[in-house]
Structures are given as structure tokens and as C-alpha cells.
Amino acid sequence: MSLLKVYPDAEALGAALAAEIVTGMSEAAARVRRYLLGCPGGRSLMSTYEAVAAWLRSAPMDLSHVVIVMMDDYLDDAHGPVRRVPAEALHSCERFARLQIAEPWSRAVGPGHGIRDDHVWIPDPGDPPRYDVRIAAAGGIDLFLLATGASDGHVAFNPPGSGIAEGTRVVRLAESTRRDNLVTFPHLGRLDQVPRRGISVGPATIAGLSTRVRLVATGADKAKSVARVLATTRWEPDWPATIVHAARQAEVWTDPAAAGTTITVSGGSTRQLGS
């Protein structure tokens, strides 16, 4: 059964989720095993990523066992072999992973204790299914952080109509997804500059290869997507964010604006989805 948690604002949500992430990292280290964290790029999880960095600055720990598993990346629209956009592109998910997650966390814990370069994983468009095999071989994702599209409920680059049995694959981005991403990456300027294809984990990757899932949505622009998730208790292919209903230990974390409520509480308000 999925849970809805409502926090006063994005910063309070990020601090609470950071505590869960750091606890998971510490527990994995104590068991001498890797900790796989599934991550989206973009705006939705920034308060969480920043809160983890702040936590690590105050209580440094070795991060050599931590693996950042990115959920997707844009593909170059140029003709020829399928390939991800250059890592230096402002909308590159690899660039985001290194500059917004791995490097700040590594700086926080000091030289020699950060995230290894080869522990930032990005799906390869040349062999998409291999990503799921690699994740499974590593024991699965300990915690998968998800964000949802404001207008069409996409998760990663999974468009409406995706099948729940689909794993990592090359997808054609829905126009609604591309419009959402133009807001995330305004430097692209025009819709025709937003890539039309991406490499993305699938619903089966999220539901089948993750121990826990947290779908994060803050701000009034995400209220439509959250409402659709709350209106059902099962996976609905026309709204990929409903994957939380098929995933293990899944929770939806929001602020009052995204939840469509005026709840304001210091520790988070919780209820079962569908109740």
C-alpha cells in the first residue's frame, strides 16, 4: 500500500528525504555492500540533493560504496548511431549527475571519500536492456527517487501509454513531456530545440528492481499529476506516475500546493493512498 506524505514546503521535504538517504547509505556501509540510489535530473529533487550535501558536511562519511543510478538521458537528434547528448550540454543528465549530485556530495566528505567516477551510472542507448541486467546484478536499487511531469504524468521519459512490463529502452518523447522539459531547461529556447528521443528506465525497472520508491512532487504545477495518482490505487498506463501503485514500499511525498490541500505540519502528514 502506497503512502502520501505532505510536508510544509520543498525544503522540509528535502531534509526528511535526505535523512532517509543518509541512513540508507550508513546501513549499507555497515553491511559492507553497495548502496544504489536511483535519481532523476531536473528541479524536483534539488532540495533533497542539497540537503544530503548539507548533512554530509556536518557528518562526513565514506561514499565509495554509493552508486548514483540515473534514470534517463536525452539522445542526440542527429542522424547516425544513436548516442546520448554530449556530457557538456546543459540538459545532459550525466552533467547533472556529476555537477549536482556526485561532486557536491564528494566535496562534503573530503578527498578520497567521495563517489567514485565509475559509480555514476547512465543507461547506454547502444544496449538499453544491459542497464536492467547491471542493476539486477548489483542487487537492485535501494531507493528510487522519482519525479513526475506536470502535464502528462511522465516518470523518467516514459510517455503515456507505456507498458508496465517495459524495461530500459530508447523512447520517443511525447510532445507534452518535451513542453514540460522546456520549462526545466529554458536555455533550449524553443520546443523544436528539445530532443525528440531519450534513453529511459522503464516501469518494469522501477517496480521490479527497486526496494523502495519515493515519488516527489512540489508546487501547484504538479497538483494535476498528484491528483491523478491519488485518484487510483493501481497502475494506469495513461499516467506513468501511477507506477507507485505497482512498486514496493512506495510513497508519494508532496507539499500542500501539490497535494491540493492547505495542510501545514512540521513533521509531515501521512495517509494511505486510496483511503
Instruction: State which residues form the domain around 219.
Output: 3-272
- How is residue 132 written as a grid cell? 536492467
Strand order in the sheet with 197-200: 72-74, 197-200, 169-172
- Alpha helices (H) in the chain, listed in sequence order: 10-30, 46-58, 93-96, 103-109, 129-137, 175-184, 203-208, 223-230, 256-259
- What is the C-alpha separation between 224 and 127, in angstroms, rounded? 35
CB distance 92 to 86 below 8 Å = yes
The tally of domains found in the chain comes to: 1
CATH number of residue 64's parent domain: 3.40.50.1360
Confidence check: pLDDT of 272 > 90: no
- What is the C-alpha separation between 110 and 39, in angstroms, rounded? 22
**pLDDT at 266 (0 to 100):** 39
- Reported as a pLDDT band with limits 50, 70 and 90, residue 250 is very high
- What is the C-alpha separation between 54 and 120, in angstroms, rounded? 20
Confidence check: pLDDT of 33 > 60: yes
CB distance 154 to 240 below 8 Å = yes
How many CB atoms sit inside 10 A of residue 80's CB?
Answer: 6
**pLDDT at 274 (0 to 100):** 45
| Mean per-residue pLDDT over the chain, rounded | 91
| Burial class of 196 by CB neighbour count within 10 A (0 to 12, 13 to 18, 19+) | middle
| Burial class of 8 by CB neighbour count within 10 A (0 to 12, 13 to 18, 19+) | middle
What confidence tens digit (pLDDT) does each residue in 69-111 have? 999 999 987 777 889 998 998 889 999 999 999 999 999 999 9
**pLDDT at 270 (0 to 100):** 55
Could you tell me what percent of the chain has a pLDDT over 70?
Answer: 93
**pLDDT at 240 (0 to 100):** 96
**pLDDT at 267 (0 to 100):** 53
- Reported as a pLDDT band with limits 50, 70 and 90, residue 271 is low
Pairing mode of beta strands 66-70, 72-74: unpaired
Candidate from 148-152, 179-183, 197-201 with smallest mean pLDDT: 179-183
- How is residue 197 written as a grid cell? 528521443
- Reported as a pLDDT band with limits 50, 70 and 90, residue 177 is confident
- Reported as a pLDDT band with limits 50, 70 and 90, residue 233 is very high
